[in-house]
Chain A
Amino acid sequence: MKTLDQTLTALADPTRRRIVGRLAQGTATVSELVQCFDLTQPTISSHLKTLERSGLISRFRVAQTRPCKLEPAGLKALGAWLGQLRSVYEDNYSRLDDLLQNLQDPDGETKP
C-alpha cells in the first residue's frame, strides 16, 4: 500500500504526469526533460525524485548522464489496485440492482 500511496501522490501532480507521458515514449535525460517542459533543472530533478520514490521510474547510467525510464512494477501495483476497485463497484452495483428491484416490487418474488 505504501508504494501505491506514493504512486497515486506522484500521479496527482500534472507536471509529473506530463513527465510520465514523455517517458512512455522512451527514455530521457534531465536536460532533455528541462528542454521539453521549459522548467528549471532543480524543478525537474525534484519531480524525478518523487517519481523515483514512487517506483514509477528508475534511472540508469550512460557515460556521464543518468537517463530516466518508466518502471513496469509501479504501474502494475496501480493496475492491481484499479482491478480491486473495479470489482468492488461491480459487487456493490449488483446488490443495488437487487435492492432497487425489491423497492419497486416489495411483494414480488425475489430473484435468485
Chain B
Amino acid sequence: MTTFEFTTPTPASIRVVRTFDAPVALVWRAYTEPELIKQWMTGPPDHSLPVCEVDLRVGGKSRYVWKNPQFEMGMTAEIKEVVEHERIVQTELFDGWPEGVSTVTCQFAETDGRTTVTVDIEYLNQEARDVAMQPGFKEGYEASYITLDKLLPKFASRS
C-alpha cells in the first residue's frame, strides 16, 4: 500500500508526500545517482531524461534535460544543503522561466523498512522571504492566511 499526498500549504508552496516500499539507503540512491534517476524521473508521458548530472555537495550544480519528440526542457539546480539519507535542499531554475525559481526541500524518513519522501516546493524569492522575516509580519499574515486548497475548489465550482 502506498500513500500519496499533493497539497498546497500556502499559495506559493506545494508539498508532495509519498511512501515507498524500500529502505532509505536505496531510495536515496534512486534520488541521487544519475543512472537511476534517468529511469524514473522522466516526467510526462513520452518524455525521457537524457541529461542528468548531479554534483551532490553544497554549492554543487545539477543539470537535468527532459525531451520528447517536439520539445526539450532543461533545469539547473544548486544544492544548498545535503544530509545523507535525510535531506537535500536545492534551488531549481527552469530554462526560460526565471520567475519560476523555487526552493525544493526533499526529506527522507524510514519506518519499518519503508521510506517516506516529503518534497516541499516553495516559489518564494529572497525578497519575499526577507519581508516575511520582519517583526509583526507573521501575525498579519496568519490573520489572513489562505491556501490554494481552499481557494481553488471555490473558483473551480463557480465557473
Contact = CB atoms under 8 A, between A and B. Distances in A.
Interface of A: 5-6, 8-9, 11-15, 17-18, 20-22, 24, 37, 70, 72-73, 75-76, 78-79, 82, 84-93, 95-101, 103-104
B20 A12 contact: no
Given A72-B159, A75-B152, A100-B27, A11 B20 contact: no
B30 A9 contact: no
24 contacts: A8-B123, A11-B12, A14-B132, A18-B141, A20-B146, A24-B150, A24-B151, A70-B155, A72-B155, A76-B155, A76-B156, A76-B159, A79-B152, A79-B156, A86-B16, A88-B43, A89-B4, A89-B16, A91-B44, A93-B2, A96-B30, A99-B30, A100-B22, A103-B26
Interface of B: 2, 4, 6, 8, 10-12, 14, 16, 18, 20-22, 26-27, 29-30, 36, 39-45, 97, 99-100, 119, 123-125, 127-128, 131-132, 137, 140-141, 144-146, 148, 150-152, 154-156, 158-159
B77 to A, nearest CB: 16
Contacts of B152: 75, 78-79, 82
A85 B104 CA distance: 14
Contacts of A88: 43-44
B9 to A, nearest CB: 12
A12 to B, nearest CB: 5
